[in-house]
Amino acid sequence: MKKIAFFLGKGGVGKTTISATVACQMSRSGTKILIVSLDPAHNLGDVFQTKLTNEKRPLDTNLDGMEIDLSAWVARYLDESRKEIKANYAYHSAINVDSYINILKYSPGTEEYAVLWAIEHIYQEYAAACDLIIFDTPPTALTLRFLAMPSITSLWVRELSAMREKILKKRQTILAINPDAAIVKNFSPAGADASEETPVQGAMDKKDDQIYIKLSGIGKRLAELQRLFSRESYLSVVVNPDTLSLAEALRIREELGRLGVHINSVCLNKASPEGAGRENVEKNFGDCPVFMSRLLAEGVRAVSDLGVIDVEGVKNDIKAAR
């Protein structure tokens, strides 16, 4: 069994219900589960009729739950960025770092990185103590962006690392011509108080260059997240028997396929007893098993309702996935 399961899909198709049902039923059969909501509009606590927060709390035997506070993780990401700039880059005194961070808060990608670091933290912190971590995801747009971030950002990191190597080679050339060149001497930023600033030395080699070291660290971190999504995760897309949710599910599969991340199954939720729509889903997802969950006439009104929803197929598929 893989360590992580993501339930993806269009808003309103029942991702929270399916992920909560799978978590509840698997935990009652002895699998130790942590279920986590990544959706800014949290409903997971409503399903379990309890207040969930950024800290995990027990929901049932073998079952813990938590809801990620995205604003708190954005603040944490920005604070880490501020500390890294001040610790690693000499020119930070020449710019207003706090103003830069305040702008960064509204920049494209900030929420996605915050979600990434939250997933990374949860995996590192809790994976050893449970058998499976189930993520109830936000609607498609944000989900696709954070799943794509490791692959896309790795391209930037590779280009920046190559650029940094060229800079270091230029320095080596200058040093060969003039061993006393200022570029290799200790310096402090112009106008800085020497008692407060740590002198910075222009590095010649990759192993000594703090910027290159930082880029390498980011690259390794992103590669591990990409491996987590592509090899350690089970991805199921939830659809309803309607054209719009199916079209969005197909777009999810196409976008993730380009990143080397593949859909493992499809959950046809809110299906009628006759199974209307299943044939169309199977025709479009011929390479994926399709599991059907019947529509509850009155919806999920209590935790006990999670025990009667049929998710046997997707549960067994998660357990069998390697």
Q: Which residues of 103-127 are buried (b: 16+ CB within 10 A; e: fewer)?
A: eeeeeeeebbbbbbbbbbebbeeeb
Q: Establish how many alpha carbons lie within 13 A of residue 111's alpha carbon, considering only the half-sphere containing its beta carbon.
A: 15
Instruction: Please check whether residue 40 is in contact with residue 33, taking contact to mean a CB–CB distance below 8 angstroms.
Output: no
The total of other beta-carbon atoms located within 10 Å of residue 60's CB is: 15
Contact 64, 130 (CB under 8 A): yes
Which one of 39, 64, 209, 317 is the catalytic residue?
39
Residue 18's closest CA among 312, 322, 251, 252?
312
Torsion sign across C-alpha atoms 201, 158, 79, 3: negative
Length of the chain: 322
Is-catalytic flag, 39? yes
Tokens representing 271? 């299906």
**Catalytically annotated residues:** 39
